[in-house]
Amino acid sequence: MISQVFSAQLADLVSRETGRVLGGAMLGDQPGASLPEWPVQRIVAPLLGATGPVIHETWLAGQAVLTGNSEGIAWCRAGQLLYGVIDLDEADFTATPGCSALQAASQEAYRRIFRLLDAKNLPHLWRVWNYLAAINRETDGLERYRQFNIGRQDAFLEFRRGATGNVPAACAIGLTGGPLSIAFMAGDQPAVAVENPRQVSAYDYPADYGPRSPTFSRAALVYPPGQEILFISGTASIVGHLTVHPGDVAGQCREALANVAAVLGEANRLARSTPFTLPELSYRVYVRHAADFPLVRETLAGLIGGTAEIVYVQADICRHDLLLEIEALASHALGNC
């Protein structure tokens, strides 16, 4: 059974759980903070409303783990499940005509992930966390998010994985600087992909949003032994394929949460355990403008209830007119596994 813990410090975890930590993320505007032994994705971005400068979100495996480093990926395996982190510096890639350094780095990162997963016989990608610098900046006539989408999709196709249907849950978020950073969870069993009836599937977005569609599903249900985990992808104020409520942050909050609720409803049709509910999810909310944070917090508290675990981060969203994005997860025990 894997579980996620949130902490301001890691000392306790290191002494208590040595050898049973899968990996995690360190969020906060602290580029110099020291990191533990296990794979950690560094998300260098200001926390909003937090009590300390950093938050560690850490996956505990509840069993002995095996760690390694291959293909430049720090990985950790617990049974038939693997968590990994890869950081690539775009400066190590050269742009060629028709392919920016970011596109090349994105394709290479996914190639390496797929090679590692194939070698470990854990081919099913469940959930991917993508971060890149200046996601909305246009270079060579194309927004960087769109460059990333080309590289990502090319790697899926190159490895014959298909770029529609059974693709992983994901987020793609912009930071002020730093490498292309991709964390992922994968396993020997396929995820059940979930779509949102209120939205066009991202892999079917029309070409207005870039030459290649993004390769992700709206949510994934995954099944470590004895467990059902729901990963809800980054979810924004998009209906159909259009951004709605441009410039209206409270409106975007309500619409994004309506989308989370719609994905939840769809997931519950497919789920094997008891229904997932909004207040039980743990959330990560990316807010583009720090000044919007009080209104975002107040609006979401009114909709989700005041007790849910919500980590707020100031970061860029992949469309310039989106002011926030919400991702979430929850885990249920499954009987007789």
How many angstroms separate the CA atoms of 313 and 57, rounded?
13
- What are 67's strand-pairing partners? 76
Burial-class residue 111 by CB neighbours within 10 Å (0-12, 13-18, 19+).
Answer: middle
Q: How far apart are CA 229 and CA 247, in angstroms?
A: 34
Determine the angle formed by the axes of helices 101-120 and 144-158, rounding to 10 degrees: 30
Token pair in block for residue 313: 């981060």
The 3-state DSSP class for residue 21 equals: strand
Which residues, in sequence order, are bridge partners of residue 3?
60
Among 2, 230, 238, 287, binds ligand 3EB (CB under 6 A): 238
Helical axes 293-304 vs 249-270, angle rounded to 10°: 40
229 vs 238 by CB, closer to ligand 3EB: 238
Is residue 150 within the footprint of ligand 3EB (CB under 6 A)? no
C-alpha to C-alpha distance for 231 and 281, rounded to whole angstroms: 10
Choose the binding region for ligand 3EB from 17-25, 76-84, 231-239, 293-301 (rule: CB under 6 A).
231-239
Q: Which is nearer to ligand 3EB, 60 or 86 (CB)?
A: 86
CB of 337 to ligand 3EB, least distance (A): 29
DSSP letters, 54-70, are EEEEEEE-SS--EEEEE
Minimum CB separation of residue 130 from ligand 3EB in Å reads: 6
Q: Is 287 in the site for ligand 3EB (CB under 6 A)?
A: no
Strand, helix or coil at 132?
strand
Whole-number minimum distance, CB 158 to ligand 3EB, in Å?
Answer: 18
Place of tokens 């390769």: 215
**By C-beta, is 20 or 320 nearer to ligand 3EB?**
320
Instruction: Quote the least distance from Cβ 152 to ligand 3EB, whole Å.
Output: 8
- Contact flag: residue 234 with ligand 3EB (CB under 6 A): yes
Cβ nearer to ligand 3EB, comparing 38 with 210: 210
CA separation, residue 239 to residues 211, 224, 255, 273, 326 (Å): 20, 32, 8, 29, 15
Per CB under 6 A, 171 contacts ligand 3EB? yes
Stretch that binds ligand 3EB, among 113-121, 168-176, 183-191, 263-271 (CB under 6 A): 168-176
Tell me: does residue 167 bind ligand 3EB (CB under 6 A).
no
Active-site residue flag, 325: yes
* Binding region for ligand 3EB (CB under 6 A) out of 21-29, 233-241, 250-258, 284-292: 233-241
CB of 148 to ligand 3EB, least distance (A): 8
Range 111-130, binding ligand 3EB (CB under 6 A): 130
Does residue 256 belong to the site contacting ligand 3EB (CB under 6 A)?
no
Residues with catalytic function: 325
